Copies of this chain bind each other. A is one copy, B any other.
């Protein structure tokens, strides 16, 4: 697989999680910042290689082979992110771009040794699950902070939005994965939350709460 093919497979994988019946050409083009016509060309190629099933105008789904390939790419991406943060001292908002390159390094032995070196982590620095060598993904129990009951405590376990802006906001508020959040109150009018983190009161907008996973 070329780097370009891998990028398509990965994007189709992520979009499949949202629309499992079939992924649109335009959606893929949007994610890859390319044109619909380029996507059509590539879908034909991926279909010839039996990585996707594709019927003109009907959207595309991954075959078993494509699904496994996608999980291996995601595995590599997330393991490298763990390496960058845990071993090299990058912050969680700096690692995505570099991992986008590292995920295309080919050696299977490399990734399995890296996995062992990192202690077989089950989640990346943003709380996203890491597929194991067989492609099995351990489901991480989680709820959005916007949807939990009030008067209870939770651990932060992940973020839905991994944008730099959001991650930097969390850094500023000293919210990290593992932080304990006690939900004090929810405002009826706009769903703003009052929470307590490390004994400190904090007001959190619904948009924030809607992008933070807790357990």
Query: What residues make up the interface of A, taking CB atoms closer than 8 Å to B?
Result: 84, 87-90, 94, 97-98, 101-102, 105-107, 109-110, 113-114, 117
A98 touches B110 (CB 8 A): yes
Give the secondary structure class of A's interface.
Answer: helix
A94 contact set on B, CB distance < 8 A: 109
B88 touches A98 (CB 8 A): no
Indicate how many identical chains form the complex: 2
Complex CA–CA separation, A94 to B153 (angstroms): 50
A101 contact set on B, CB distance < 8 A: 105-107
Given A89-B113, A101-B106, 11 further pairs, Cβ under 8 A: A84-B110, A88-B110, A88-B114, A88-B117, A89-B117, A90-B109, A90-B113, A94-B109, A98-B107, A98-B110, A102-B105
A84 contact set on B, CB distance < 8 A: 110
A102 contact set on B, CB distance < 8 A: 105
A107 contact set on B, CB distance < 8 A: 97-98, 101
Complex CA–CA separation, A138 to B159 (angstroms): 45
Complex CA–CA separation, A113 to B87 (angstroms): 9
